[in-house]
Amino acid sequence: MTTIQFIGTTPSDLIQEIKKEIIPELKEQLKEEFQPKEPTSYLTRNEVCETLHIDLSTLHRWRKEGILIAYGLGNRIYFKRNEIDEFINRNRL
């Protein structure tokens, strides 16, 4: 940890030094935080089964057990691609 001495430092000099250190760091953090995100892509039940190499009955059981989260729109069921990818990464050996 470095020490800071305020002897002979004017308030305006102190403000300038703080700005010089803090503002660039804040800009970088805000730039990363507010980057446009990719739109969420959705997979159908058949696409998930093909991706995971499982049967529809296994997918149905995993939905009921809460292993995978399904999203419905009317009579259709979809799964978020990023959640399927996370599931695969979580369960790798």
Predicted confidence at residue 1, as pLDDT, reads 52
Confidence band (pLDDT; 50, 70, 90) for 93? low
Whole-model pTM over 0.75:
no
Give residue limits of the domains in the chain: 42-90
Please name the residues in contact with 63: beta carbons below 8 A apart, sequence gap of 6 or more.
69, 70
**What mean pLDDT is predicted for residues 57-69?**
95
Tens of pLDDT, residues 15-55: 888 888 888 888 888 887 777 777 889 999 999 999 999 99
Q: Does the pLDDT value for residue 3 go beyond 80?
A: no
Instruction: Tell which phi-psi region holds residue 80, choosing left (phi > 0), alpha (psi between -120 and 50) or beta.
Output: beta
Tokens for 52, please give them.
């995971």
DSSP character at residue 7: T
